[in-house]
Each structure stands twice: as structure tokens, then as C-alpha cells.
Amino acid sequence: MTLRLLFEEIRSNIQKISNDLGYPTVEFDISEASKPEFGDVSCNIGFLLAKPLKKRPSEISESVANEYQKHKGEFVSKITVHPSGYLNFVANYETLARSVMQSSTEQNYGQFNVGNNTKIVVEHTSVNPNKALHIGHVRNIIIGDTVARILHKACYDVQVLNYVDDSGLQVADIIVGFKYGGFAKEPLQNQKFDHYCGDVVYVSITERYEKEPSLAEKRAIVLKELEEGSSEMAKFGDEITRRVLEEQLKTCWRLGVTYDCLNFESQIVRSRLWTTVLEKMKSMGIIYLENEGKNVGCWVIKSDSEVEEDKILIRSNGIATYIAKDIPYATWKLGILEDPFYYKHYAMQKNDRILWETTLENTGTKLNFTGDTVITVIDSRQSRLQKIITKIISDFKSKGKQYTHLGYESVTLSSDTAKTLNLETGGKSVQMSGRKGLYVNADYVLDILGVKTYEEAKKRNPELDEVTLVKIAEQVAVGALRYSMIKQDLDKIITFDMAESLSLEGDTGPYIQYAHARSMRILEKAGKTPDFNVSFDNLNTEHERNLVKTIGKFDMHVEDSAKNLSPKMIARYCYDLAVSFNSFYEHIKVLTAESPEMINARLCLVWSFKETLVKALSLLGIDAPARM
RNA sequence: GGGCCUGUAGCUCAGCUUGGACAGAGUGCUGGACUUCUAAUCCAGUGGUCAAGGGAUCGAAGCCCUUCGGGCCCGCCA
């Protein structure tokens, strides 16, 4: 097992001692010591009892320590009291090392049961299928994918959805471009179709609306025809959006992201879901038909507060608004209503994960992609709308169902990067805009990163063949991008700078991957599998102990990360693990250690590290190449 | 006007949920370490009134209040 055992042992012993001494019950903390010289684990019980017992914290800690000395347990070797009042513990490293290292070789090491196999749905990506994915979408995708991976590790039964908004205005725009704007259906050269639609057709056509009112009129007509499912226009729209989607998904797969099911908005609109939900909301009195005032003739959600406006769900012309389309989808995700869809196979993804799509045609296949908890990953500019949806869902009072909006701040472009897109911002960063062509495509970033990582890998490993080098370069490029999107807090804006994103040193994905490559090299050169059935008494330098401890913390970080829906905690852990290893690597020789026993023990440690890092990195969707 | 987020080293950020021991990284800058398991590395130095003020507490970067700065959202757009 892991460091968790050490913590739990100390906790239960102190609880018992405190009871035996007749102390009042307090919620004391067992935490990692803040500095190595204090030991490994600290307890603050002295501070908490100081007031009720009218004694100095150190005095109380002293009494507890005296009792503790009598039966130290399996994992503690030393107890000390710091003058400040803290009660500090030093681990029994031999026991700890054996315990940690043996469990680290298990297949499911790091797993921790938070979810109890509860069904949970994560929806992310959900990009309009009229353009390529840009760096802002990547943050959404990587957060969603990482959270899904972590929840899976924390024993949730996870399904991942991607909502395809194929019936909106943005789609109409590119259709106008093809039908009336004079754009050829095929891009020139080898341009990806999604890049063509977004970078060329979409940007130009929105620019032309201003000068050509006739085009803008066409848009309204196209939009209307798109919503009528059987029209020629709808068929054409379907063909185009599917081609864009296909290209978008290639980018997602390139990033190591996979899904379980694609939901098409057009189908939700045409299905009976919408009318059912509408009736339900009407009958429950959640929405009202406005008889007077500026919203006359609209179905609205009444606002609770004075200052907030009522929210219109159905316009006076009978057409639903943007937010209205999200409500039936939310109920579908939670499985509140009967599922109107059939399912068909869309694609086979890596690791044999099948990607399904919804369909209204009777394929005979019924599947279930719903969950008791739904997590919708959307940037926090949508917080207001998401709050309304959450409220409506909770009004439905379906037992045990929970709708959660996982928000995050947006990605902006640095002033320098904006300048390369011909926008002078005067040193300020700027919000991206698909409409204005102000964005950096994900594929482009990966390509540029790939060139750099390829050159590096080739320089370091001239003997490797081309195919291997290209693969390593791509893995490192993806690692760099994914890590940069996840290491920061969700509430912090990421200012994307092209030049800066090419720096691969320090707190980056490649730094962590490099630690793995180093460990692999040692194991490779050792030429044998280490024997774990030995004593690890000899691993007694600070570097070795520190590495053992860090390895042993994996499951605690999985638990925290899952409970807080905080992917950065795992990023942080991967970095800490790599730092521990690199420090070990620089100071401790493995293959040239003084005795065969020492070599074996250190090889075990390297092996444990490697196994743990690979598992932790896989939660971030980052591959760990053996060479780089 | 209302709501959400944010302010910690020159720059980018951890730490804040759950208050406690001298406030940590990366980057930058200065210097050092490759005939050695890959230097995408390591080691040392440099660098901070934790935006400001007040409050409760034995104790605040953290909790509460006020103020100031920055971002975002408040449409019969999506």
C-alpha cells in the first residue's frame, strides 16, 4: 500500500491516545511535514487542544508523544515535538519502501475508490462543426478528457460525450459561403477541410455580410432550410458539417482524446425530446407565457431577483433560443426522459474504444450514455446560462441526479502572437475570435512543436530510424501542449504565446517525459528485471527516500483530484514525481552502485518510479516515450 | 447598475477548499557540474509590505468586511 497507510496509522493512534488521556474530541489534521527537517508527517493536535486544556501546544504534544512512544506501530520510527507545538513523525522507511514499491508494480496502482462505480457523464469539446479546433478549444478538450480519465481512475463509470451543434447560425454561414459566396467545395492544395471552412470560408463570408446585404438575407433563408430536416439544403449542410467534424475528430485523436458518443443537435431538435421537456416545464410552472410587457408572446423563465432579466426560451415567433436547446440535452444526459435515439457505430478509436453516434433511424441498437451525475465542460463565460440550466434540472427533482457545470477561464492570445495575426493590441492580450480570424489552430501548434521536438530528438538520438523519431516528436509535442493546458488552475486565464509555447524546459510536459526516458535507459542497460523480494533498508539517502515517498502519494492525489474535479493536481503530481527522480538521478548511481544488492534495490526504485509515472501521465493523456 | 473570476518574486504561476513551524516552483539574470545511467538535466546565488485597509483569532497569503486595479457575463445572437 501507500503513504495513506502511514497517515491512517498515525491518525487512529493519536485518536486513541487522545481519548485515553481524556482530551476533548477535536478535528486534528494529519498532514505532510512542510519541511524535511521536521520529519515526514505532522499533527496539529497540540494547537487545537491548547485552549480547552489551558496548556501550551508543545506541552500537549509532549504528552501525546510520550504515549505514542509506547507503541509506535508499523510505519513510524520516530516521534518528536517541535518547540512550536507540532507533533512530528518520521516514517519507518524500510517498511514504507517495501510497501510502497511492491504496490507500485500492481496494475491498478493509484486507483482510489471515490465513485463507487457511479455512472457519470462528461461532456466536452462541443465545437461548432464549421471550423478547425483552435487553441482555446484545446483547453476545453484537454480539461474534459483529463477529468474523465481521473474520474475513471477514481472508480466512476465514465461516459464521454461530444455535442455537435450542427444546426446553428455558424453552420449556416459556411453553407452560404459554398452556395452563394462562390467558394469551391474542395480546398486548394492539401488543406484540411476544417481549416478551409474556418480560415477561409467562414472568415471571409462574415466579413462580406457587412458589404453585401443580399448575402445576409441568404443566411436567414439557409438557416430556416437547415432546420427543416428533409430539405436539399439540410442534406448539403449535413454533408459539410460531417466532413468538418471528421477533421476535428482527427485533431482530437491526435491529442489522444477519445469519446463514447456523438450527439447531434439537429437530431435533438427534430426528436420528441424538445416537446416533451417543454410540456413538462409548462406543467411544472417552470416557464410561463408572457402576456404583457416587452416579452409579450414569449415563453420565459421568471427571474427570482429584481435586477436580473427574465430569460426567454421561446421567442414570440415560436422559435427556441440557444439556451432552450441545451435543456432537453441536459435531461437526456441525465436519463430523466425516455431516450428517443438509436445508435450506430461511428468509428473505432485507439484502445478499441468504439465511438457511437445518435440517430433517429431505427438501427435496432439501443445503448445508454446517461449518468446520475453529468459534468458539462464549458468556459465560464457561459456560467450564467449554465446556472439557469442547473436550476431547471434541479426543479425536475429527479432523485440522485446532478448536473454540474465545470467552468474554466478562457485562453487569450498574447500581444506578440496577435501581432503575427496582424492585430496590434498595444501590449495587451486579446480574446480569440473565430469570426475575425483571430485564433491559432491546434494542428498548427502541434505541427510547429513537432518540428522542434523532432530536431531535438534526432540530435540526441541520431541512431534512431525516421518512423521512431517522428513518433517521439509527436508524443512530446502532444505532451507539451496537453501539459500546458492543464497545469494551471481552471480559474486562471491562459495567455497563449506561440514563442513561449515552444519552450520545453522546466515545468513542462517534456521535462516529465524526459525523466521517464532516463529511467527507461537505466532499466534497459541493466538488462534484467529487478527482484522486489528483498529488503530496502539500503535505500537510505534523502534522494531515495524522497522518491519512495513521492511514489507512495499517487492515490492520495487521485482522490483529491477527483473529489475537487481538479486536473491540475495530477499535473502537479507528475511534475513532483519527475523532480524527485531527476534529483535522484543526478546524485545516485544505479548501475555502478557498490554491491549487487544495492544495484537491485535501486533498480527496483527506478522501476517503481517508471511504473508510477507512466500511470500518472496516462491520466493526463500524455505518452511516455522510452527515448527522447 | 448587478453577477462570476482574478491580484503572491522582473515575468508565468503553486500554496487559499480544511488558518499554524523561516511564503514555494518555473522562467529570467549570475556562477558551477557532461572521458560518468541521455545536460529537454542537476546544484548554488539573485529576487516577495502575499493589491491596500480594517476585523475576529494565541496565530492570517489563507477566514469576514471595505476599498482599489484587471478580465468576463448580463440580446426575441449562438
Residue whose CA lies closest to nucleotide B23 C1': A34
Same-domain status, A130 and A45: no
- Quote the pLDDT of residue A213: 87
- Quote the pLDDT of residue A433: 93
Region of poorest pLDDT, from A353-367, A385-399, A518-532? A385-399
Q: A91, A113, A136 — which closes off a domain? A: A91
- Quote the pLDDT of residue A1: 61
Same-domain status, A62 and A151: no
Residue A517 within any structural domain of the chain: yes
Same-domain status, A86 and A133: no
H or E segment and range at residue A121: strand A119-123
Residue A594 within any structural domain of the chain: yes
Using the predicted structure, report yes or no on whether residue A279 has a pLDDT greater than 80.
yes
The C1' atom of B12 and the CA atom of A51 lie apart, in whole Å, by 42
* Nucleotides in B strand less than 7 A from protein CB: 1-6, 12-15, 17-18, 20-22, 25-28, 36-43, 58-59, 71-78
- Quote the pLDDT of residue A270: 86
| d(C-alpha A268, C-alpha A70), whole Å | 67
Which residues constitute the domain of residue A579?
A: 442-619
Instruction: Provide the CATH number for the domain around residue A83.
Output: 3.30.1360.70
Residue A111 within any structural domain of the chain: no
Same-domain status, A609 and A472: yes
* Grid cell locating A296: 409579450
Same-domain status, A354 and A213: yes
Contact present, A313 and A324 (Cβ < 8 Å): yes
The C1' atom of B53 and the CA atom of A197 lie apart, in whole Å, by 54
Percent of chain A clearing pLDDT 90 (strictly above): 83
> How confident is the model over A386-391, as a mean pLDDT?
94
| d(C-alpha A248, C-alpha A577), whole Å | 33
Contact present, A171 and A128 (Cβ < 8 Å): yes
The C1' atom of B22 and the CA atom of A7 lie apart, in whole Å, by 26
pLDDT digits 0-9 by tens, A221-263:
898 888 777 789 999 999 999 999 999 999 999 999 999 999 9
| d(C-alpha A572, C-alpha A562), whole Å | 14
Residue A613 within any structural domain of the chain: yes
Reported ipTM: the value is 0.96
- Quote the pLDDT of residue A201: 96
> How confident is the model over A455-475, as a mean pLDDT?
96
Contact present, A603 and A530 (Cβ < 8 Å): yes
pLDDT digits 0-9 by tens, A131-168:
999 999 999 999 999 999 999 999 999 999 999 999 88
Residue whose CA lies closest to nucleotide B4 C1': A383
- Quote the pLDDT of residue A623: 98
- Quote the pLDDT of residue A620: 98
Q: A349, A369, A389 — which closes off a domain? A: A369
The C1' atom of B6 and the CA atom of A494 lie apart, in whole Å, by 12
| d(C-alpha A561, C-alpha A109), whole Å | 16
Residue A604 within any structural domain of the chain: yes
Residue A305 within any structural domain of the chain: no
Closest nucleotide C1' to the C-alpha of A51: B58
Same-domain status, A21 and A144: no
Same-domain status, A499 and A596: yes
Same-domain status, A491 and A603: yes
Mean pLDDT of chain A: 94
Same-domain status, A75 and A186: no
Using the predicted structure, report yes or no on whether residue A305 has a pLDDT greater than 80.
no
Closest nucleotide C1' to the C-alpha of A316: B76
Give the 3-state secondary structure of residue A163. Answer: strand
Closest nucleotide C1' to the C-alpha of A560: B17
The C1' atom of B56 and the CA atom of A373 lie apart, in whole Å, by 39
* Grid cell locating A483: 501539459
Closest of A460, A274, A271 to residue A361, by C-alpha: A271
Instruction: Provide the CATH number for the domain around residue A256.
Output: 3.40.50.620
Same-domain status, A147 and A236: yes
Q: A325, A347, A369 — which closes off a domain? A: A369
Cβ-Cβ contacts under 8 Å for A81 (sequence gap 6 or more): A46, A58, A61, A62, A65, A87, A88
pLDDT digits 0-9 by tens, A503-555:
999 999 999 999 999 999 999 999 989 999 999 999 999 999 999 999 999 99
pLDDT digits 0-9 by tens, A177-190:
999 999 999 998 88
Residue A535 within any structural domain of the chain: yes
Instruction: Provide the CATH number for the domain around residue A592.
Output: 1.10.730.10
Pairing of strands A119-123, A373-377: parallel
> How confident is the model over A459-468, as a mean pLDDT?
94
Higher pLDDT, A44 or A229: A44
Same-domain status, A473 and A582: yes
Higher pLDDT, A621 or A303: A621
> How confident is the model over A42-50, as a mean pLDDT?
92
Q: How many domains are contained in chain A?
A: 3
Task: Tell me the pLDDT band of A399, cut-offs 50, 70 and 90.
Answer: confident
Residue whose CA lies closest to nucleotide B59 C1': A47
pTM for the whole thing?
A: 0.96
Same-domain status, A541 and A450: yes
Residue A64 within any structural domain of the chain: yes
